[in-house]
Amino acid sequence: MEDTPRQFGPETLAIRTQTPRSAQKEHATPLFLTSSFVYDSAEDMAAAFQDDSLDVNIYSRFSNPSVDEFVDKVVLLEGAEAGVATGTGMAAVFATFMTFLSKDDHILSASAVFGSTHTLLTKYLPKWGIESTYFDMTQPETIEALIRPNTKMLYVETPSNPGLDIIDLALLGEICKKHDILYVVDNCFATPVVQQPILFGADLVIHSATKFMDGQGRVLGGVVVGKSELIYMLYLMVRNTGPSLSPFNAWVLSKSLETLHLRMEKHAQNALQLAQALTQHPQVSFVKYPFLPNHPQYAIAQKQMKNGGAIVVFEVKGGLESGRRFLNALQMISMTNNLGDSRSIASHPASTTHSKLSEKERQAVGITPGLVRVSVGLENVEDIIWDVEQALGKI
């Protein structure tokens, strides 16, 4: 009787997917720090440049074994067909827009998107004659009415940054399929451990690998995975314009993916306990976390997410100045604009990451003056809760 091939779990795939061993028989994957690659003959070199589809390394702006290993792991974790890496998460977003949008096209985007993505949509895309319209994630019934004959892409983050709004990914998939629209999801906050948008019909999934995929605040990176024919077009864009991921960063990210499942489970455990501890705090107006039953889209989160992720947001009473006083009173938790670190991080979106939005725009996506975003880390959860509560007591 023939052995049935084993379907390994995602944790195993993240650990065991590696570049083929060299003649040195190394156990850990080596780092391929090289700008270019050599050929056995002039004919091989000519063929490499004449056929873009050849699976051969030419130059590390085009491809690199360290980068390929990282991409291969994300492809497997997301259930995608192929992928391409970029130097940063925003490079991944911009390359996606520039590959699939042209003059006179229209993109339909959730209004609750990262501040730099908002800037791309409102400041830069119009320079190339690309129009955009925002939809409210909390009112998905309004989306279809916003679709135009020239709408080519629907773009969404779920959970959103920083308001943690959630939208039904399957519903969006049905809308995009019905209207033949490219469906693009930023899955940075959830990671493929928590949700896989491709299962719900997404064509492309984007990550800022800088965040949870690295997990320790060390390197920058971005990645896009999805359908092969789309990724090939995106690959050519990245290859020719140059926002490639460095081999060193890719090597670090690939090793980090080996612990992503363990980390995301602990992040979520700590985050839920912090959110629960703050629900009755007298200095807090509200707490928002996807796996708290009072979250407006709690039922959707339960359907499409394995846990609530690592981000907790809450409104400090007293507005902008109270938010700042809270940050200044923290003793352990870091103040930085990053997230997804093993160390807990607190930020004040209204005065930092989303400060370039108007007050009306911030209010529209739930960024209130006293809103605090905590990326809950891997420290002892009692220490995290203590630091937040003692800082709240000083505002």
* pLDDT tens digits along 107-156: 999 999 988 999 999 999 999 999 999 999 999 999 999 999 999 999 99
Specify whether 217 is located in the same domain as 281: no
CB 344 within 8 A of CB 237: no
CA–CA distance, 310 with 189 (Å, rounded to integer): 8
Asked whether residue 67 is domain-assigned, the answer is yes
Do residues 251 and 270 share a domain? no
Q: Exposed e or buried b for every residue in 352-385, given b needs 16+ CB within 10 A? A: bbbeebeeebbeebbbbbbbbbbbbbbbebeebb
Report residue 297's pLDDT band, with 50, 70 and 90 as the boundaries: very high
Q: Is 5 within the bounds of a domain? A: no
Q: Are 223 and 74 in contact, with CB atoms under 8 Å apart?
A: yes
pLDDT tens digits, one per residue of 40-83: 999 999 998 887 766 889 999 999 999 999 999 999 999 999 99
Domain membership of residue 2 (yes or no) is no
Asked if residue 179 is part of any domain, the answer here is yes
Q: 266 and 380: one domain? A: yes
User: Of 227, 259, 291, which one is at a domain's C-terminal end?
Assistant: 259
Domain contains 338: yes
Q: Which of 222, 239, 259 is the last residue of a domain?
A: 259
**Same domain for 79 and 15?**
yes
Cβ pair 188, 207 in contact under 8 A:
yes
Residues 243 and 362 occupy one common structural domain: no
Residues 167, 239, single domain; the answer is: yes
Q: What is the CATH number for 364?
A: 3.90.1150.10
User: CB-based contacts of 257: which residues, under 8 Å, 6+ apart?
Assistant: 14, 70, 73, 74, 77, 213
Q: Are residues 211 and 252 in the same domain?
A: yes
Residue 311 lies inside a defined structural domain of this protein: yes
Mean pLDDT for 372-390 is: 98
Percent of the chain predicted with pLDDT > 70: 97
Q: Looking at per-residue confidence, does 342 or 355 come out higher?
A: 342
Of 196, 231, 213, the residue nearest 95 (C-alpha): 231
368 or 202, greater pLDDT? 202
Checking if the pLDDT of 2 tops 80, the result is no
Domain range enclosing 319: 260-392
Same-domain status, 18 and 58: yes
Higher pLDDT, 115 or 338: 338
- CATH code (residue 127): 3.40.640.10
Q: Give yes or no: residues 218 and 288 share one domain.
A: no
pTM equals 0.94
Residue with tokens 């705090």: 281
Instruction: Give the pLDDT band of residue 235 (cuts 50, 70, 90).
Output: very high
Asked whether the beta carbons of 116 and 139 are under 8 A apart, the reply is no
Tell me the C-alpha distance between 33 and 282, whole Å: 54
**Do 327 and 229 share a structural domain?**
no
Across 8-32, average pLDDT: 93
pLDDT of residue 339: 95
pLDDT at 115: 83
Q: Share the mean pLDDT of the chain.
A: 94
Q: Are 290 and 297 in contact (CB under 8 A)?
A: yes
Instruction: Looking at the structure, tell me whether residues 278 and 155 fall in a common domain.
Output: no
Higher local confidence (pLDDT), 194 or 368 = 194
Q: Which domain-ending residue is among 233, 259, 285?
A: 259
Confirm whether 3 is domain-assigned: no
> What phi and psi, each to the nearest 5 degrees, are found at residue 179?
-105, 5
Q: pLDDT class for 221, splitting at 50, 70, 90?
A: very high
Q: How confident is the model at residue 337 (pLDDT cuts 50, 70, 90)?
A: confident
In this prediction, residue 366 carries a pLDDT of 74
The tens digit of pLDDT for each residue in 348-370 reads: 887 766 666 677 777 766 788 88
The number of folded domains in the chain is 2
The answer to the question of residue 315 being in a domain is yes
- Specify whether 25 is located in the same domain as 164: yes
